[in-house]
Structure formats: C-alpha cells, structure tokens
Amino acid sequence: MKKQVFNPFLPLHECIPDGEPHVFGDRVYLFGSHDKEGGETFCMLDYTVYSAPVDDLSDWRCEGVIYRAEQDPDYPNRKYMYAPDVVRGNDGKYYLYYAMSGDYGVGGYHGPISVAVCDTPAGEYKYIGFVRHPDGSPMLDYVCFDPGVINDNGVIRIYYGTQYDFEEKPDFFENEGYITSEMNMFNKSREEILTMAARDSVMGPVMAVLEDDMLTVKEPSRHIIPYKTKGTDFEAHPFFEASSIRKINDTYYFIYSSMLNHELCYATSKYPDRDFRFGGTIVSNGDVGYNGRTQSERLNMTGTTHGSIENINGKWYVFYHRLTHKSDYSRQACAEEIKIEADGSIRQVEITSCGLNGAPLCARGSYPAVIACNITNGNMPHGSNKIFTDSFPNVNNNGDELFIAEISDNTFIGYKYFDYKDNEKLSITYKGDASGKLSISVSPGGNILASFDITPVDSWTKKTIAVPFTDGVAGLFLNYSGEGCFDMSEIEF
C-alpha cells in the first residue's frame, strides 16, 4: 500500500526551491537550487536531487549531491548556484545549466550561464564550460539569469532573463545602490538599463538556440515577449524571472514568475521564439488571485516563487515553493495537481496540504503542524531579500524540532483537505506563554466545533479535546484569539 504524501513533499528539513521537475525513464526528478534551513542568503548549499517513481509520488528518495559550487571556475568569487535546469542532449547525456551568484543576489546577473554534464540524470555532473559565442567568448547577451532548457525534437533551446519595470519605478535600483556610475547589478552600462527608448532593452525573457555541443550559440538570443507590457495582455502580470519551458502537443508553454513575485504564470505560442500570449496564473504561494483573493488577503507570507509543470503518469502537476523562517532564504518544494483544459488553458489552483497525494489526507494519526497550507495573522508581509525581525506566525525550527512559531492573536492556520470518518477527538502539541482560545472549524469562517483553552506551558504539551466532526472531505482550520504567543508542533486525530 502506498503511503501518504503531503506538502511540502520532501523531508521537512529539506529546502529545494526553484523546482524543475522532469520525467526521465520511469522516475520523476526534481532539480532545483538548495537553500539552507534557517539560511542567511539564497541558495547556500550544493545541488541535491530527489526523485520518485512516476507511479508512486509518495516515495521520494534523495539521490545525493549531484554538483558542488566549488566545481565552477568562478567559485569562490561567486559562491552560490541559482535556479538550474537539466535537459537530455541529442547524445543521450544530461546537461545542467545554471548561473552563479554572491550574497543576496549580488553578481547573479553578470553571467555567463555555466554547463555541466553527466551520463545519468542524478549522477555526478562534471563542469564542461559556459554558454558561448562561436568565437569562444562568453555569451553575455541580455541578462543571463534563471536558464530553462528544452530539447525540442533535436533543437536545443535555452530561455533566460530578468526584468524590472524602470518606467514605473525608475529610481529603485539607484536608491538601493545597485546602479552607480561605476557598476550595477546587471553589469551593463547605466544608460543601457535606464534608457527606455532603447530599441532592444537588456530586460525581458529571451531565447537562444544551441549547437549539439550544448555550449555554442547557433542562433542568437531574441525576446520572446515584449519588454514593454503596457497595453498588452501581459500588463497585469509582466515577466520578472524564473524562465521555464514546456511543449505540449504543438504548443509551447512558457512558465515564469511575474513581477507580483508570488505567482507562477504561463504564456503560450505555436512558435518557440515569438507570438506568446498571456495565459493566466497557475499558482500563487499566498493563494492571491484564487477565487478573487487580493494581495492584502494573502493566506501566507508571500515571496519569490519559481517552478514549472510536468506530466507524470498521465497527470499534470505544478511544482512551486513556499517560504519559511520569515525570509526568502529557506524555501520548500510543494506541488499541486493541475488540469490542462481542452482549449489548452490552465486554471489557477489553490495551495493545499495534500498536494501530490491524489486524494485528501486520512484524518487518522498524527501530522506535523507545519504541513499547514495557510498561515496568516491577517497582515502577512511579502518577502524580500531579507530576514524579517518583526513577529508574525511562520514555519521555523530548533534543531530537529519543526513547528509553527509565533502564533498570536488573530492567527489563522488551515489544512486542506482531510477525509473524516468516525473522528471524535483532536490533539495539538504546543508550548509558549499564550493565554486564550484556539477554535476549530472545517471551513474558513464556518461554525466553531470546539475550542482548546491555551494556557502557558514551558515545554511541549499535548492537549486533547472532543470535536463533533462530520464524516466527509473538509479542511481543518484553527483560529487563535488571546494574549501572548505559542508554537505548535503536531496535530493528531
């Protein structure tokens, strides 16, 4: 019997964001960058891959470290490897594409795009060079960031780029110190970046074609969607970063993170390098946009997202990541099943706790509290390139202990979904100096079925109460009102 799987679907100490899922043979492999639990900046650890049989997405195993930052010649000038992608070449080998960066993203936009190779999807990759022009010089066209690669019936296409709307906020990077007369984060001239009348801005997503050597540019890079989006169907969801590409039948799907930063969007075209039209949002890590939810109503701390879609054993899924530890530096892999409609469209899906499970979770036994898909106090921040120090509920850890931390007045914690049958009791394990009530319902804003009295306790304490659950599929929603703060490590039916 297959075991259950929940979000996040990897071991709870593991932080693999920027996920690119690929089916090779009878397994699906998740390639991504590698954050540190409680990390101080982005992507601090070496590339580590997990895989699962295509017919059992509960059985993820660690394939180990496939590539180390120190293998890149630019190490330690730039110490961290950002979001990668892997593609199978025409020679049957597997090629890893990535860009290096320093602390807090400094240097991450300078290029080039590095390449490593391996005989197997998750073996030990070896550095072979960087994407280059035919004369051997590094390909530094546009901004070499977040590469996504596809073998399109023998044609190797690489997509990459980033974008910032200088028309809306022209002084941002100057105010942040990224653009000066001497240098800037993109390693381009100040005039090249700030001159909006430039015929071909360095900003925006682009595509190039590579030779079979997987290194040399065969067809130079060109924009695939307009950089200036005002008046286009991209205006409300312009490209920001996280290029990923899929081909479904005769249609190309370009998946990307928008400037809203918390959502994965998609665009489609019958051509790989032009005529892309905005399709919609696939998923938001705060459920923003789902059923009309606004950004101020986000159901989690939101922040960077990056991922893609993949067909696994006949079903389509979107892989994305969530934020923990009150920063963008400890992001965990999550996934949801999606549906590609007959017309090729993808409706936005809500984030859940059951994710890859294929069914609601069984309301039996214990679950880590941190599998909550919604954690909010009604005023959650949007993550940025920092660690927040103010108090709000968050997923955190102390050594091997993982818990929802800083639960305070008006905190809402949601789990979606459970299959209830003959359930009569619920337990929580908590500690803290809080004094108040934790109410229980099975729908947001629904009838309160029962309430825990939360009292101050210094060590992990299990409290159980009777709850008149009704048989059937529903959520589990906990609302705290009271004084002080507490942490919660476990729920049990």
* Active site members: 18, 241
Q: What are phi and psi of 369, to 5 degrees?
A: -60, -30
Rounded distance between C-alpha atoms, residue 199 and residue 484, angstroms: 57
Q: List C-alpha distances in Å: 147 to 87, 135, 168.
A: 11, 22, 26
- What dihedral angle (degrees, nearest 10) is formed by the CA atoms of 138, 142, 148, 152? -80
Q: What is the distance between the alpha carbons of residues 78 and 99, in angstroms, rounded to a whole number? A: 10
DSSP letters, 262-316, are: SEEEEEEESSSSS--EEEEEEEETT-TTGGG--GGG-SS-B-----EEEEETTEE
Per the CB < 8 A criterion, the answer to whether 463 and 430 are in contact is yes
Half-sphere exposure of 109 (CA within 13 A, CB side): 24
Sheet holding 94-98, edge to edge: 85-88, 94-98, 114-118, 126-130
DSSP string, 375-434: EE-S-PPBP-SSB--S---EEEEETTEEEEEEE-TTEEEEEEEEEESS--EEEEEEEES-
Helix (H) or strand (E) holding 174: helix 172-175
Helix or strand holding residue 194 (H, E):
helix 190-194
The SS3 assignment for 211 reads: coil
Q: Which residues contact 390 (CB under 8 A, 6 or more apart)?
A: none
Tokens 């005002």 map to which residue? 230
Longest dimension (CA), the chain: 73
Among left, alpha and beta (phi > 0; psi -120 to 50; other), residue 320 is: beta
CA distances (Å), origin 330, targets 17, 38, 160, 379, 383: 8, 6, 23, 21, 11
Q: Which of 138, 141, 131, 144 is nearest to 210 (CA)?
A: 131
Structure tokens at 316: 């389509």
Q: Please count the CA atoms within 13 angstroms of the CA of 224 that sit on its side-chain side.
A: 34
Q: 39 near 330, Cβ under 8 Å?
A: yes
